[in-house]
Amino acid sequence: MKTKQILLLLLLMLTIPVLAQKENPLLRKGNSQYEKGNFKEAEKDYRKALEINKESVKGNFNLGASVYQEKNFEESAKIYGELAGKNQDKDIQAKIYHNLGNSFMEAKQYDKSILAYKNSLMNNPSDLDTKYNLEYAKMMLKNQQQQQKKDQDKKEKDKKDQKKDQKKDQDKQDQKNQPPQDQKKLSKEDANRMLEALKNDEKKTMQKVKKEKAKVQVIGIDKDW
């Protein structure tokens, strides 16, 4: 957001009746620092002024503007959020909600910024800057939601792909641990051949034993020493 889009009360203090009270030196000093771009110094002066009058609309409003310029959007949203509703002047309320919307906008909380801009327009329907920011916030919210959907779809796809890869790895491991079908068949045939060979060897061995035994019996043992 550009600096000009932050609607400050620095110039309005002399024109808005509700804020026509005499400014104390700390507020004037803070305004001067703000106009010079010394936002941190301006913040210090505004905080000191609020120690004197913590309910000051001017002090709180300008404090919110200074921390906004320091890109502390969470803090500025908190300040404007607390300030909203405390003053019944519609023009001031419109500006408070406008700045609240800007704070939410920069924090990428587009749904909240939309609500703030709508509240601003309820108090000042003719404000063109707020209308523009409202439409911009709607566009950014739509883009954000689309991106979130893409991210979610990608996560789900990655999760499915991961499961597929894990299944493929498991299938490969199972195939690695199990011999191929033709190897199983070959192993069975080899086993049958080995068994048959053993039977044949055993048969031959028995036949040889019988022959040797018969030979011994024929030769006999000389009993007369």
Instruction: Specify the pLDDT at position 22.
Output: 53
Residue 139 token pair:
């566009």
Instruction: Specify the pLDDT at position 168.
Output: 83
Distance CA 205, CA 199 (A): 10
Domains observed in the chain: 3-144 (1.25.40.10)
**Is residue 59 within 8 Å of 50, Cβ to Cβ?**
yes
Query: What string of pLDDT tens digits covers the 225 residues of the chain?
Result: 544 455 554 434 433 333 334 568 999 999 999 999 999 999 999 999 999 998 899 999 999 999 999 999 999 999 999 999 776 789 999 999 999 999 999 999 999 999 999 999 999 999 999 999 999 999 999 999 999 999 999 999 998 888 888 888 888 887 777 655 544 555 677 767 777 776 676 666 666 656 654 444 333 333 332
Distance CA 139, CA 166 (A): 40
Instruction: Specify the pLDDT at position 14.
Output: 36
Distance CA 17, CA 114 (A): 29
